[in-house]
Structure 1
Amino acid sequence: MKIECRNLKKNYKAKEVLQGVNLTLEKGKIYGLIGRNGAGKTMLLSILSAQNPVSSGQLLLDGEPIWENAEALSHIYFAREIITSANSNSGGLKVKEYLNMAASYLPHWDKEMAERLVKLFHLEPKQRLIKLSKGMVSMLGAVTALASKADFTFLDEPVSGLDVVAREQFYQLLLEEFTETGRTFVISTHIIEEAADIFEEVIFLHHGKIILKENTQELLEETVYVSGRAETVDAVIQGKEIYKPKTLGRSKSVLVRLQEGEILNQKEGITIQPVNLQKIFVSLCREEENV
């Protein structure tokens, strides 16, 4: 089972929010969707779950269109931000009412799991959503996402407002569910390093375009940060695949993508260091800054 995006484009208020997105999501993987504010992450997830129509392009589940396809949509759930303001549709609901509503439209709903997670996260079933803290609202979203049992589950900033213990607990539960069921999870988050270890593949979205989709471990093992005297750095990285260099006076720094098993020659005047996922993302999305 897989979801395919073929040249997806989305225009909104005269702006092209998504620009020719080509993407395949396979069942049985955890993907990290990383992008700056306004990059189009939420829009992409809403389109993947048919909550928003595309302007052009194709969106398919196993070769069949997803839009207005009840069978395809039964395999997909997007746990987006729960709006709890007084004038929202859900703000006045109690926690148990919200979960009952979710159960009514999610065909694979696991009631037993939902009840167990409500107790685990110390959610009060009779509490109205408008009275919940931001962290508690995020926990409710996590409960709904996990209990949906959807083959493809999309989560937009699922740990927003959660303290470090609750975030760790959530990711552990997600990993357990993934291991047991083989569901696909796509997680959009700004807290990159905390979630990096669970991402089998990472997707970088920048200005409405996918600029990278890679196996996370391979990306980290094959990318290094080279810095030092500009002329020495240039000599070392000549002919290599590089990500946006940064020059400051006579110094230069750049991310270098190596081939499997390749090692850069260490030279006097430069430093070669391993990098984390956040550093790679920042380097790829940074505008040119030559001084």
Structure 2
Amino acid sequence: MNEQIICHQIGKSYGKKEVLKNIELTLEPHKIYGLIGRNGAGKTTLLSIISAQNDATTGSVTIGEAPVWENEKNLGHICFSRELNTMMGTGANTLRIKDYLLVASLFLPNWDQKMAAELLKEFELNPKEKIHKLSKGMLSMVTILIALASKADYTLLDEPVAGLDVVMREKFYQLLLDEYANTERTFIISTHIIEEAAALFEEVIFLRDGGILIKENTDHLLERSIHVTGKEEDIRAIYPNQHYYAVEHMGRSMGCTLLLESEND
């Protein structure tokens, strides 16, 4: 598929709370994008709007000048794989893995059943296991399986490595790169583990306070970024004017990536 996804003036509010503000974003085919931002930055909301699982308060999302919202043809090009809800009373909770995959396949016109079966074995998932009995890492494996087996032209993954150990994360990254190398697919991946996943991304998009702070080639961005950890007050005293992103708090300590100002800034 050679069509772009274009987000034009996307805004989303819940009552008086503005989650996304005037998002202008173009996603090119056959790229791997990293969508970065702290919790509450609007990553999941943006992905759900792009995939028409949530409606925008303002603005539009189009593929080839045609809207995504309520457009069966364009929706067939998109898969949004997100964390499964295992709360009692939800539809997924009572299903076995194999039943959940069957339901997913009904909504994904390019579904690859052979790949799905291979990934079940690769991840050592029991297809008869109930969704609500799975660990957080196993739930992530199911969402990764669906994303890869969907064969969707635009595949969106929301924090796909949550709960996975280092070995399984590396396995996912390699599977993703193999699929990318052998197809024309585009992947948009939200994550907070930027240092580990940076090598995957051709471009990174940073969200902050509901808006796009940066959209830039990964190599260029890394050349003027550093990762620091330490006491939050010390970091902010030493670097008072830099852009902070991928921020994680651990008690009184903080880890974050800083965008250093270039000579032309």
- What's the TM-score bracket when you normalise by the shorter of the two chains? 0.7 to 0.9
Structure 1 counterpart SS, 2:115: helix
Q: What's the TM-score once normalised by structure 1's chain length?
A: 0.78
Query: Which amino acid counterpart does residue 98 of structure 2 have in structure 1?
Result: K
- For the structure 1 residues 252 and 24, does the alpha-carbon distance in structure 2 shift closer, same or farther, using more than 3 Å as the test? closer
CA shift for structure 1 position 204:
0.3
Q: State whether structure 2 residue 265 is matched by structure 1 residue 280.
A: no
The two structures, once aligned, show a CA RMSD in angstroms of: 2.0
Structure 2 counterpart SS, 1:279: strand
Query: Which amino acid counterpart does residue 64 of structure 1 have in structure 2?
Result: A
Aligned mate of 1:98, from 92, 97, 100 = 100
Structure 2 counterpart SS, 1:20: strand
- For the structure 1 residues 15 and 124, does the alpha-carbon distance in structure 2 shift closer, same or farther, using more than 3 Å as the test? same
Q: State whether structure 2 residue 86 is matched by structure 1 residue 108.
A: no
Structure 1 counterpart SS, 2:99: helix
> Unaligned 5+ residue runs, structure 1?
226-245, 257-277, 285-291
Residues 181-260 of structure 1 mapped to structure 2, 5 A cutoff: 181-221=183-223, 223=224, 248=237
The CA deviation string for residues 17-63 of structure 1, in whole angstroms up to 9 with x for no partner, is 11000000011000000011111100000000001111111211011
The CA deviation string for residues 67-92 of structure 1, in whole angstroms up to 9 with x for no partner, is 10000000001001111122211011
Report the equivalent of 2:138. Answer: 136
- For the structure 1 residues 224 and 97, does the alpha-carbon distance in structure 2 shift closer, same or farther, using more than 3 Å as the test? closer
Structure 2 counterpart SS, 1:280: strand
2:225/2:258 contact within 8 Å kept: no
In the alignment, the residues of structure 1 paired with residue 239 and residue 35 of structure 2 have an alpha-carbon distance, to the nearest angstrom, of 29
Aligned sequence identity (%): 54
Structure having greater relative contact order (Cα 8 Å, sep ≥ 6): 2
Query: Which amino acid counterpart does residue 279 of structure 1 have in structure 2?
Result: T
The CA deviation string for residues 99-153 of structure 1, in whole angstroms up to 9 with x for no partner, is 1111111100000000000000000010001111111010000000000000000
1:91/1:129 contact within 8 Å kept: yes
- For the structure 1 residues 211 and 116, does the alpha-carbon distance in structure 2 shift closer, same or farther, using more than 3 Å as the test? same
- Over alpha carbons, which structure has the higher Rg? 1
Which consecutive aligned stretches of 4+ in structure 1 deviate over 4 angstroms post-superposition? 251-256
Report the equivalent of 1:179. Answer: 181
Report the equivalent of 1:265. Answer: none
> Unaligned 5+ residue runs, structure 2?
227-234, 244-255
The CA deviation string for residues 223-256 of structure 1, in whole angstroms up to 9 with x for no partner, is 166xxxxxxxxxxxxxxxxxxxx774xx667669
Count of equivalent residues: 240
Q: What's the TM-score once normalised by structure 2's chain length?
A: 0.86
Report the equivalent of 1:63. Answer: 65
Report the equivalent of 2:8. Answer: 6
- For the structure 1 residues 224 and 151, does the alpha-carbon distance in structure 2 shift closer, same or farther, using more than 3 Å as the test? closer
Report the equivalent of 2:229. Answer: none
